[in-house]
Amino acid sequence: MAAQTPKLPQSGASAEDFAPEGWHVFFIENGDLNKDHVDDIAFILQNNDSGSRVLGIAFGKKKRGYVLQEQDGGRFITPKGNTDAFVDMSIQDGTLRFNFLLPGSNAYDNDDSFIFRFQNKRFELIGWE
């Protein structure tokens, strides 16, 4: 049975501060996503028991720490059965990129990438490769 999606705290000093009890940081990436010249973080939390995942994106504050901007239930980054298509994510040139293996593939050069940019006060899909 999948764990319920937790409500993440609104602020924290690090990605670990957004992880509720029973969850841990599975993956983290940092870089400027909102063009304010302050590093932001995108992180994936994973439930210790069920393996369910949650995506969080927090914008960096100029003084220190982060403010939660987005939270997703992790539907597209949570493994399905014994298959985990998620490879990694990265922040490049103000975009957030998610990389997934194609079904039936075991080579990292055979993947799909979804690219998001923060614009119009939200993250929008701007590319698929």
Residue in 14, 27, 19, 118 with CA at minimum distance from that of residue 64: 14
Q: 93-108 pLDDT, tens per residue?
A: 999 999 887 666 555 5
Cα(86)–Cα(77) distance, rounded to whole angstroms?
6
Q: Where are the domains of the chain?
A: 11-128
Cβ proximity of 127 and 115 under 8 Å: yes
Specify the pTM: 0.88
Q: 22-46 pLDDT, tens per residue?
A: 999 999 999 999 999 999 999 999 9
Average pLDDT for residues 86-91, to the nearest whole number? Answer: 90
Cα(97)–Cα(18) distance, rounded to whole angstroms?
21
Cα(102)–Cα(86) distance, rounded to whole angstroms?
10
